[in-house]
């Protein structure tokens, strides 16, 4: 099986996913949730047992606060109301007019996050992602210190990690654009988890390269890498399969609130395995062969399809 020889096809597939995502990101598709922007969330249950149309609830609430209000139905008899940060008095006013209109309501939850807190969270989040990436890159470089060009392994691991983050950010932006999904603290958790596991897979492939390099010193690097990928392919597929099976079960049967989180994890796990198998090690080969010397020539390099 020749995976490395087709590396530019696999890079192409990645770009096919990432570029539309980046465009969606540029169009402002990523909608940060109230965890990051600040805002309020009221979840109410209508004691009558049947929730009115979200549209009607929205108008009632807007009559009180007079600003952008988003209402989603929650369960059969509840509604989730999202709006700017409000104080206790305003919340009481909203509840009063809701009960006047639709009968008694019970507050299931009320949350109001001020913009200052949201800002702090967003800053910390960016810090957390950066910190995780740097820490992992350093660890990979350390773990592969006995291999020639250990630094390349570290860089290739981060590249595949950045790949996965870009896939997730882009897809989240697309989902935000088309389905109105919001990126909350859990989205961030999913991204960080994927970062950890993406490296998991990458390390398994790299570890095999490390081993094969010492066993077969005379074989060209490209062949060693391809051989290593093929050798670890069963493991990569099986592990991903078990993780995806559990995640699928959660996504299908786990209920609404964590579904967004699980779907992002699912995509991320898949992307993580893909980038580890098809991209990470290929970057080592690109670097070793100095492929870029052939990129802009008319005749394609022997090992690349164009």
Nearest-approach distance from CB 286 to another protein, in angstroms: 23
Taking CB under 8 A as the rule, does residue 216 contact another protein? no
Contact track, another protein, 162-201, x by CB under 8 A: -----------------------xx-xx--xx-xxx-xxx
Q: How far is CA 130 from CA 107, 123, 146, 182, 271, in A?
A: 38, 11, 26, 21, 19
Nearer to another protein (CB atom), residue 45 or residue 279: 45
Judging by DSSP bridges, how do beta strands 31-32 and 182-183 pair with one another? Answer: parallel
Distance in angstroms (rounded) separating the CA atoms of residues 100 and 52: 13
Nearest-approach distance from CB 66 to another protein, in angstroms: 18
Nearer to another protein (CB atom), residue 15 or residue 119: 119
Taking CB under 8 A as the rule, does residue 265 contact another protein? yes
For residues 224 and 213, the answer to whether their CB atoms sit within 8 Å is yes
φ, ψ at 181 (rounded to 5°):
-70, 145
Number of residues that bind another protein (CB under 8 A): 75
Q: Which of 145, 246, 292, 300 binds another protein (CB under 8 A)?
A: 246
Taking CB under 8 A as the rule, does residue 158 contact another protein? no
Nearest-approach distance from CB 111 to another protein, in angstroms: 8
Taking CB under 8 A as the rule, does residue 247 contact another protein? yes
Nearest-approach distance from CB 113 to another protein, in angstroms: 6
Nearest-approach distance from CB 258 to another protein, in angstroms: 5
Taking CB under 8 A as the rule, does residue 140 contact another protein? yes
Q: Which of 46, 102, 181, 261 binds another protein (CB under 8 A)?
A: 261
- Return the half-sphere exposure (C-beta side, CA atoms, 13 A cut-off) of residue 207: 10
Nearer to another protein (CB atom), residue 59 or residue 123: 123
Tell me how far apart the 2 most distant CA atoms of the chain are, in Å.
83
End-to-end CA gap in the chain: 19
Site for another protein in 102-121 (CB under 8 A): 106-110, 112-114, 116-117, 120-121
Taking CB under 8 A as the rule, does residue 238 contact another protein? yes
Task: Indicate the SS3 state at residue 14.
Answer: helix
Q: How far is CA 226 from CA 12, 15, 271, 300, in A?
A: 18, 22, 19, 20
Nearer to another protein (CB atom), residue 13 or residue 130: 130
User: Which two tokens mark 167?
Assistant: 């896939």
φ, ψ at 81 (rounded to 5°):
-110, 125
Site for another protein in 66-95 (CB under 8 A): 85, 87-89, 92-93
Nearer to another protein (CB atom), residue 89 or residue 179: 89
Taking CB under 8 A as the rule, does residue 55 contact another protein? no
For residues 202 and 236, the answer to whether their CB atoms sit within 8 Å is no
Stretch that binds another protein, among 9-17, 24-32, 125-133, 214-222 (CB under 8 A): 125-133
DSSP letters, 249-303, are HHHHHS-STTHHHHHHHHHHHHHHHHIIIIIIHHHHHHHHHTTHHHHTSSSPPTT
Site for another protein in 271-300 (CB under 8 A): none
Taking CB under 8 A as the rule, does residue 241 contact another protein? yes
Taking CB under 8 A as the rule, does residue 208 contact another protein? yes
Q: Checking phi first, is residue 39 left (phi over 0); if not, alpha (psi -120 to 50) or beta?
A: left
């Amino acid at each position: 099986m020749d995976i490395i020889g087709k590396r530019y096809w696999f890079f192409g597939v990645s770009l096919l996913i990432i570029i539309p995502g980046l465009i969606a990101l540029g169009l402002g598709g990523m909608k940060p949730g109230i965890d990051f922007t600040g805002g309020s969330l009221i979840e109410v249950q209508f004691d009558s047992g049947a929730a009115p149309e979200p549209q009607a609830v929205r108008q009632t609430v807007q009559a009180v606060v007079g600003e952008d209000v988003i209402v989603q139905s929650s369960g059969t008899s509840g509604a989730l109301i999202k709006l700017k940060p409000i104080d206790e008095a305003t919340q009481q006013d909203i509840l009063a007019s809701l009960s006047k209109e639709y009968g008694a309501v019970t507050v299931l939850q009320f949350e109001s996050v001020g913009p200052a807190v949201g800002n702090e969270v967003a800053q910390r989040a960016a810090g957390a992602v950066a910190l995780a990436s740097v820490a992992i890159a350093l660890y990979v470089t350390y773990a592969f210190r006995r291999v020639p060009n250990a630094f390349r392994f570290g860089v290739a691991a981060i590249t595949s990690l950045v790949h996965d983050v870009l896939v997730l950010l882009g897809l989240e932006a697309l989902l935000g654009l088309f389905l109105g999904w919001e990126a909350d603290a859990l989205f961030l958790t999913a991204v960080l988890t994927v970062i950890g596991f993406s490296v998991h897979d990458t390390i398994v492939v790299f570890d095999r390269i490390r081993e094969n390099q010492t066993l077969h010193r005379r074989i060209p690097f490209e062949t060693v890498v391809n051989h290593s990928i093929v050798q670890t392919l069963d493991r990569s597929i099986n592990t991903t399969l078990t993780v995806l099976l559990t995640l699928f079960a959660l996504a299908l049967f786990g209920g609404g609130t964590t579904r967004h989180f699980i779907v992002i994890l699912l995509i991320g796990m898949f992307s993580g395995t893909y980038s580890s198998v098809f991209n990470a090690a290929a970057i080592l080969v690109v670097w070793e062969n100095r492929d870029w010397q052939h990129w802009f020539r008319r005749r394609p390099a022997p090992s690349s399809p164009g």
